[in-house]
Structure 1
Amino acid sequence: MTDTSARQFEGEARFGDYVALLKPRVMSLVVFTALVGLLVAPVRLHPVEAFAAILFIAIGAGASGALNMWWDADIDARMRRTAKRPIPAGVVEPGEALAIGVALSGLAVVMLGLATNLLAAALLAFTIFFYAVIYTMWLKRWTPQNIVIGGAAGAFPPMIGWAAATGSISLEAVLMFALIFMWTPPHFWALALFTRSDYAEAGVPMLTVTHGRSVTRAHILAYTLALVPVALGLGLTSIGGPIYLAVSLALNARFVLGAWRIWRREETEAEADGYRAEKLFFRDSLAYLFLHFGALLAEAGLRMLGLGGATWL
Structure 2
Amino acid sequence: MSDATANTSTQDQEAQFGDYVALLKPRVMSLVVFTAFVGLMVAPVGVPAVVGFAAILFIALGGGASGALNMWYDADIDRVMKRTQSRPIPSGKVAPGEALSLGLWLSALSVAMLGLAANWFAAGFLAFTIFFYAVIYTMWLKRWTPQNIVIGGAAGAFPPMIGWAVATGGVAIESVLMFALIFMWTPPHFWALALFMKSDYDKAHVPMLTVTHGRPYTRRMILIYTALLVPVALGLGLTSIGGPLYMAAALVLNALFVRGAWRVWRRDEDAARADAYGAERRLFRFSLLYLFLHFGALLAQSGLRTLDMGGW
What TM-score does the superposition give when structure 2 sets the normalisation length?
Answer: 0.96
> Aligned partners of 1:251, 1:210: CA distance in 2, in Å?
30
Structure 2: stretches of 5+ with no match in the other structure: none
> Aligned partners of 2:72, 2:133: CA distance in 1, in Å?
13
> Aligned partners of 1:39, 1:274: CA distance in 2, in Å?
41
1:162 aligned residue: 164
After TM superposition, the structure 1 = structure 2 runs for residues 271-282 of structure 1, keeping only pairs within 5 Å, are 271-282=273-284
> Aligned partners of 1:7, 1:261: CA distance in 2, in Å?
43
After TM superposition, the structure 1 = structure 2 runs for residues 112-127 of structure 1, keeping only pairs within 5 Å, are 112-127=114-129
- Pairwise CA RMSD: 1.3
C-alpha deviation, 1:307, in angstroms: 5.8
1:206 aligned residue: 208
After TM superposition, the structure 1 = structure 2 runs for residues 1-313 of structure 1, keeping only pairs within 5 Å, are 7-8=7-8, 9-306=11-308
> Aligned partners of 1:77, 1:11: CA distance in 2, in Å?
16
Which amino acid counterpart does residue 185 of structure 2 have in structure 1?
A: W
Partner-residue secondary structure (3-state), 1:54: helix
> Aligned partners of 1:173, 1:7: CA distance in 2, in Å?
46
> Aligned partners of 2:260, 2:13: CA distance in 1, in Å?
45
> Aligned partners of 1:7, 1:138: CA distance in 2, in Å?
27
> Aligned partners of 2:263, 2:225: CA distance in 1, in Å?
14
Between the two proteins, the alignment pairs up a number of residues equal to 305
Which amino acid counterpart does residue 180 of structure 2 have in structure 1?
A: A
C-alpha deviation, 1:170, in angstroms: 0.1
Instruction: Give percent identity, aligned residues only.
Output: 74
Give every structure 1 segment of 4 or more consecutive aligned residues whose post-TM-superposition deviation is greater than 6 Å: none
Task: Tell me the alpha carbon deviations over residues 72-120 of structure 1, each in whole angstroms, 9 at most, x when there is no partner.
Answer: 0000000000000000000000000000000000000000000111110
Structure 1: stretches of 5+ with no match in the other structure: 309-313
Which amino acid counterpart does residue 246 of structure 1 have in structure 2?
A: A
> Aligned partners of 2:309, 2:79: CA distance in 1, in Å?
52
> Aligned partners of 1:190, 1:183: CA distance in 2, in Å?
11
Task: Tell me the alpha carbon deviations over residues 223-256 of structure 1, each in whole angstroms, 9 at most, x when there is no partner.
Answer: 0000000000000000000000000000000000
1:311 aligned residue: none
Which amino acid counterpart does residue 226 of structure 1 have in structure 2?
A: L
Partner-residue secondary structure (3-state), 2:133: helix
> Aligned partners of 1:273, 1:10: CA distance in 2, in Å?
41
Partner-residue secondary structure (3-state), 1:132: helix
